[in-house]
A and B are shown apart, each in its own frame.
Chain A
Amino acid sequence: MTEAIAEQKDLALLLDYYRRMLELRLFELKVQELYRNARLPGFVHLYVGEEASGVGVCANLKPEDLIFSTHRGHGHAIAKGVPAKVALAELWGKTTGCSGGRGGSMHMYAPEYGFMGTNGIVGAPIPLATGGALSAKLRKSGQVVVGFFGDGAVNSGSFHEAVNMGSVWDLPIIYVCENNLYATEMAFSRATKNTSVASRAAAYGLPGVVVDGQDVLAVHRAAKEAIDRARSGGGPTLIECKTYRYVGHHEGDPGTDYRTKDEVEQWKKNDPIKRAAKVLLEAGLADEKKLKEVEAEVVQLMEDAVTFAENSPEPLASSVTDHVF
């Protein structure tokens, strides 16, 4: 296949990816609005700006493939197929949420969609995902597993121990580091001397790839190659998606004490959704009208999600002791 044909093939996916990214974005903006209006309990870490990574990876997975996610995981859940309304109901603590209201933002589980959880502990999903991949290999299930984590996780021992094991056992796993440059408030360049996450792959003897995390087709290509290799028994890959969150670490953090407004604005100019729209228009794959239609559909989807979640029942207080074992 020539590069031009391959590129055409990828472009054909772009409208779908545009829509998916928009779902992630508008979901998070809706959560932000609800949260700021004190309608959601708990804490939320939003994925705004990082959508290309979750979509570009998850669109290449099968429903039965597994992903393990992070504290910034709403986008991953939706990208893997969890319906927005079910995700939102969980953030609302309702029984219709994917964890029945027992989990919340950082403990969303939907194994029926291959979604093995967001996680409140940075670093923890990396060994768990590696274990998922070990299980897939032992069961000969043909599943591929993705472990998502941020730059904050790669300086933890969990990263080192798990990636090392995933590599030595040739497990069907993709380690996807969403490097948004800040671990909470800690700049990656202040936390480590080696700021190339992908280069660390060499230390464990697996391929390391760096991609523009704001280009959904670039993420797609890197992910597809890695997923195909993992599925065919070729072992794991470490992918570093260079990305950025436009929002603070969590809702309530202005996100400007440790980075400049100018830096945030520069990254917004490189927005993955706007970039996808530009390419779609330029390539004649969609017109303004089509993009507006897609957006209107997604807006409606989120309104429906709010209606669903808000009107869903609260858990019975007497059920508090259910499901401990």
Chain B
Amino acid sequence: MAEQGRVITYTDAGVEALREEMRRDPSIVYIGQGIGPRGGNFRQSRGLWKEFGDERLRDTGICELGATGVAIGAAMAGSRAIVDEVFLDFALEAITQIVQQAANICYMSNGKIKAPVLVRGAMGAVRNAGAHHSHTFYNWFANTPGLKVVVPATPYDVKGLFKTALRDPGPVMFIEHKFLYNTKGAVPTEEYLIPFGEARIVRPGSDVTIIATSRMVELTAKAGALLEKEGISAEIIDPRTIVPLDRAAITNSIKKTGRLAAIDESPSTCSFAAEVLAIAAEECFDSLKTPPKRICSLPVPNPFSPVLENQMIPSVERIASEIRALVKK
């Protein structure tokens, strides 16, 4: 994988992708609260308004339901729309438009109407924002036929997946992670796209397969490095897109290692981690040497107290400890 290039932030990788795609495709309109002159609450649209102006950067009031419906309607009518929920939490204000309209329209219209709308929002815990600003329900959208779900973990993936998302014929949930916005990574200067449904092997290994998404990829990689020193070789895989899912990457690895853990910032019940374990049960049952394990956030609303929130979310130490126990079984 081409990982040479400048080192830039996860946020800036997104801005670059948007700028390049908006230059390439004049039909793109970007709608959201604070994305104009301010450049986005997370600086996630910084500089775009200067280049594309009020026509294509549609700054709105605080009205996610209306703005999301407007974006979907524009996409149905021949534009390509981006709607920025800013915090994924705020997509809840608009979920009827996402699930009932955007997700269903292609099917309901017998394929006659496609809605190329990208719904953008940042999930997850950062800086103890409390329960209203920290949700991680990306898995809900994966349970909705008609939506593609993207959860990039690195600046490289943000840029390449954004560009693919902005060429997709239908609705895409592009779910970033707030904690990752300021993280840095190498991003090539030349253009590249990352296809949907192609997992990334974060590190190869032979003793255990670990599937991790979004911010959990970084924590799991750190846990993997610790375990390596103890002689445990973990293969870490980031699916990058939940829909479509690279099932083969997951099952091939499990068949090789015979052990599985899935790391998820969502609580375990009906989570993506649960889906990974179900895939393993259906397709790799005979290969499993030990029962697979979900390592997830505890099933509580995100607490404000740093002590409590740290207890809730999987940590490097917890991941390492659970994997250690899994491999030694």
Contacts and interface: CB of A to CB of B under 8 A. Distances in A.
Q: Do A and B interact with each other, yes or no?
A: yes
Given A116-B76, A134-B29, A139-B27, A323 B70 contact: no
A237 B77 CA distance: 20
Given A131-B72, A132-B73, A323-B107, A165 B63 contact: yes
- Which range holds the interface residue count of chain B? 35 or more
B68 to A, nearest CB: 7
B97 interface: yes
B3 interface: no
Contacts of B107: 102, 323-324
Nearest to B79: A135
A43 to B, nearest CB: 15
Interface in B47-63: 55-56, 58, 60-61, 63
A131 B71 contact: yes
Contact of B67 (A126, A143, A165): A165
Interface in A81-120: 99-103, 107, 109-112, 116-117, 119-120
Given A66-B77, A128-B101, A134-B79, A158 B65 contact: yes
B73 A130 contact: yes
Given A66-B77, A131-B75, A124 B109 contact: no
Contact of A139 (B69, B72, B79, B105): B79
A57 B194 CA distance: 47
Contacts, number: 149
A285 B71 CA distance: 46
A157 interface: yes
Nearest to B29: A138
B108 interface: yes
Contacts of B27: 138-139
A109 B113 contact: yes
Q: Which of B74, B81, B106, B145 has the most CB of A within 10 A?
A: B74
A324 B146 contact: yes
A134 B69 contact: no
Given A107-B109, A161-B66, A325-B170, 4 more contacts: A101-B110, A127-B73, A141-B78, A162-B70
Interface of B: 27, 29, 55-56, 58, 60-61, 63, 65-79, 81, 96-97, 100-101, 104-113, 145-146, 148, 169-170
Nearest 3 interchain pairs by C-beta = A131-B73, A127-B69, A161-B66
Interface of A: 66, 68, 99-103, 107, 109-112, 116-117, 119-121, 124, 126-136, 138-139, 141, 143, 145, 157-158, 160-162, 164-165, 169, 322-325
